[in-house]
Amino acid sequence: MSSVATETRVLTGREAFRAGIREEMLRDERVLVLGETVRSGGAAGVVAGLFDEFGPRRVIECPVSENGIFGAALGLALAGFRPVVEIYSADFLLAVANEVMNDMAKWQVQHGRPDEPLPIVIRGCMAATEGLGPEHSQSMEPFFLHAPGLELLTPSTPATAYAAMRAALAATVPTLVFEHRKVYELSGPVEGGVIGERVTSGADVTVVAWGWMRHEAAHAAERLAADGVGVDLLDPVRIRPLDLDPVIASVQRTGALIVVEEAFVTGNVGAEILARVAEALPGHPLRLRRIAMPDVIHPYDARLERAILPTADHVVAGIRTLLGD
């Protein structure tokens, strides 16, 4: 195996996440992987092979003890290591919400060292595929949006997966990488991803979407382009801190914004984006809207679940409604 990134790699999303971790493990032996079943590749195979390559002192198989694991990650980080902690499914992060948002996020500030890095990467598979039920399907970024002191990344493609994992490993604050299960299965070039991408340009409506929703929005944009509707589609990749400038600049041109988000609508990230845009452009006759999951937990039956997940159809319809108003 070679540690040199070539310019032409085409990988799946799963492999891209892995490449980001593995390259940093090669570069810096303080990087450790911790979690459940990580010895055998972890819940979704992202860390497959790393135990064989790096051994039990770098890839640490843990009991199903989320609080113990996350506490240990904090200890390891304060002791000078750089833990990459896997959560078996991102939904389970609620079981360590206290460790993540009360302990890790606040630690350096409340101990008087706001500039001291606390390099903890928290990662795991997230969001809906088909019928995994409401404890293995939720989009978790809104639950962690409110805590100062964290970075949140929600990549959408192999390239942004790789870029996001590298950004997380370079971050100085505890950083969550939300790995969309559907993104694992995508294939594409790995290099060239950036934190914040303009997917399509257009003058009629601004659309913000990340994770899998970027692809639903891109399909919608393609369909609308055929009808002469131009969509300015932005994928921020990083949700916190969110670079709002391109969004606001775009809305200033289009006057219309749709945030497409897989999470439940109430209290989602889109609410924050709409609020920020509205605050930035007072007195403008804006058209702002969210396309999101209704406030309904995922049914186990995939047929029923499909009825509530946002899709390109919803985006097309939402944009038409917004522009036709």
Partner 1 sequence: MSELGLYRTMLVSRALDDECMDMLARGLPVPHFHSGAGQEALSVGGAAGLRDSDVVIYSHRGYAQLLAKGVPLEVIARDMFYKAGGSNAARGGVMHVSAPEIGVPGREGVFGARFGMAAGFGLAQRLRDTDDVTVCFYGEAAGARGPLYEALNMAVLWDLPVVLIAENNGWSVNSRTEWLYPNARMSAVWRGFDIPVTVVDGNDLGEVRAAVGEAVRRARAGEGPSVVEGLTYRLHPHIWWDDAAYVPAEELAEAQERDPLTLTRAALVAAGTAPEQLDALEAEVAEEVRAVLAEVLAGPDAQWDVEPRIVGVAGV
* Footprint (CB under 8 A) of partner 1, residues 89-108: 91-92, 94-95, 98-99, 102-103, 106-107
Return the residues of window 141-160 that contact partner 1 according to CB under 8 A.
148-151
Does residue 64 belong to the site contacting ligand TPP (CB under 6 A)? yes
How many residues make contact with ligand TPP (CB under 6 A)? Answer: 6
How far apart CA 87 and CA 286 sit, in angstroms, is 40
When the beta carbons of 135 and 253 are compared against partner 1, the nearer one is 135
Return residues touching its own copies (CB under 8 A): 91-92, 94-95, 97-98, 101-102, 105-106, 109-110, 133-135, 142-143, 145-149, 240, 263-264, 266-272, 274-276, 278-279, 282-290, 295-297, 300, 322, 325
Which residues, at least 6 apart from 245, have a Cβ–Cβ distance to it below 8 Å? none
Cβ neighbours of 3 (radius 10 Å): 9
Select from 48, 78, 278, 286 the one that contacts partner 1 (CB under 8 A): 78
Q: How distant, in Å, are the alpha carbons of 86, 103, 223, 316 from that of 13?
A: 16, 31, 25, 26
DSSP conformation class of 113: -
When the beta carbons of 84 and 190 are compared against partner 1, the nearer one is 84
Tokens representing residue 208 in the block: 């913000």
When the beta carbons of 190 and 256 are compared against partner 1, the nearer one is 256
How far apart CA 167 and CA 238 sit, in angstroms, is 9
How far apart CA 281 and CA 274 sit, in angstroms, is 11
When the beta carbons of 27 and 113 are compared against its own copies, the nearer one is 113
How far apart CA 265 and CA 324 sit, in angstroms, is 23
Does residue 178 belong to the site contacting ligand TPP (CB under 6 A)? no
| Window of 88-96, 125-133, 246-254, 303-311 that interacts with ligand TPP by CB under 6 A | 88-96
Tell the burial category of 154 from Cβ atoms under 10 Å away from its Cβ (0-12, 13-18, 19+): buried
Does residue 66 belong to the site contacting ligand TPP (CB under 6 A)? yes
